[in-house]
Structure 1
Amino acid sequence: MSVVTPTQIILHQQSKVLEIHYDDGRRDELSFEFLRVHSPSAEVRGHGPGQEVLQIGKQDVTITDVRPVGNYGICPTFSDGHNTGIYTWDYLYGLGSNRDQLWRDYLQRLEQAGHHRSPHA
C-alpha cells in the first residue's frame, strides 16, 4: 500500500477549515469541528470498541496550533485545550475519503443522545 503525503496544509482561521493538498492530486477541506470530534486520541476513541466518547458542543472550536509529528502526521491544538490526537497522513486521508458519511453518523449520534453541536444549546 502506498502512503499518500500532503504537499500543502493550510489553516483557514476565518472559515475554520484545514485544507490539505496530497501528492496524488487530491485536495480535502476538513472543518476544525469535524477534526475535533473525530480525533484519533484515546480521549475520544477510547481504548477499545464501544469506548468511544461522543464529543458535544464543539461547533465553535478552532485550531490554535499545529505541530508536525515526524514525517507521518500532525498534532493540532484545539481552542478547547485538546492536543493529544496524532493525525497521521493515512488517517487524514481516510477522514477526507469518508467525510460525508462520518459527519452524518456523528450528527445522528448527537441527535440520538439528545445533544447539540453548539456549546450554547
Structure 2
Amino acid sequence: MPAPQPTSITVHQQSRVLEVGFADGQQFRIPFELMRVYSPSAEVKGHGPGQETLQTGKRLVELVSLEPVGNYAVQPTFSDGHNTGIFSWEYLYFLGSQEAQLWRDYEERLRQAGASRDDAMPAPAAPGCGHHH
C-alpha cells in the first residue's frame, strides 16, 4: 500500500526537524538526526543485511538542502556532506510513524557496538570496499 502523498514539507532549521504533513491527516516532525542515521543510502545501509554502517555523532547534523526527486521522494543534503539518500514518501512516513521504535533500535545498536550517539564517526579505513576518497 503506497504511503499517502505529503501535503506539506517544512524544514525547521532551529529545531532540526523536517515537518511533513500527509494527505491522511498525519503530521510528523522527523528529526534530522533520525533521517541521517536511517538514511536509505548505500553508504549507511551497506550492500546487504548486517553491513549497515553505524552512524554516530549526528545529533547536531543540519539539513542544508532538500531536492525533490520526481514526484515520489526528496533528496536531502546534510551538513556533514552526506547527500546520497533518497527518501521516498513511504520512507518518510515510516520514519515519522515509527520514530519511537527507531530510536530504541538505534540506541540498542549503539549499545551493542559499545558506541555513543555523540562519538565522532571513524574515518572509513576498511579495505576491500572499493570506496576511495
| TM bucket, shorter chain | over 0.9
- Which position in structure 2 is the counterpart of 1:115? 115
Summarize deviations over 1:12-32 as a string: whole Å, max 9, x none: 101000000001100001100
Letter of the aligned partner of 1:32 in structure 2?
Answer: F
How many residue pairs match? The answer is 120
- Which position in structure 2 is the counterpart of 1:85? 85
Using the TM superposition, name which of 78-87 and 51-60 deviates more. 51-60
- Which position in structure 1 is the counterpart of 2:106? 106
SS at match of 1:8: strand
Q: Does the 8 A contact of 1:60 with 1:118 survive in 2?
A: no
For residues 115 and 24 of structure 1, the distance between their equivalents in structure 2, rounded to whole angstroms, comes to 38
The structure having more radius of gyration, on CA atoms, is: 2
For residues 105 and 3 of structure 2, the distance between their equivalents in structure 1, rounded to whole angstroms, comes to 27
Q: Does the 8 A contact of 1:68 with 1:75 survive in 2?
A: yes
- Which position in structure 1 is the counterpart of 2:19? 19
**Unaligned stretches of 5+ residues in structure 1:** none
Summarize deviations over 1:9-50 as a string: whole Å, max 9, x none: 001101000000001100001100010000000111111111
Classify 1:23/1:119 alpha carbon distance in 2 versus 1 (closer, same or farther; 3 Å): same
Structural mapping, 1:1-121, within 5 Å? 1-119=1-119
Q: Percent identity?
A: 58
Scaled by the length of structure 2, the TM-score of the pair is: 0.86
User: Segments of 4+ in structure 1 off by > 6 A?
Assistant: none
Summarize deviations over 1:45-100 as a string: whole Å, max 9, x none: 11111111100111110000000000000000000000000000011111112111
Scaled by the length of structure 1, the TM-score of the pair is: 0.94
Q: Does the 8 A contact of 2:4 with 2:23 survive in 1?
A: yes
The CA deviation at 1:5 is: 0.7
The CA deviation at 1:3 is: 3.5
Indicate the RMSD between aligned Cα atoms, in angstroms: 1.2
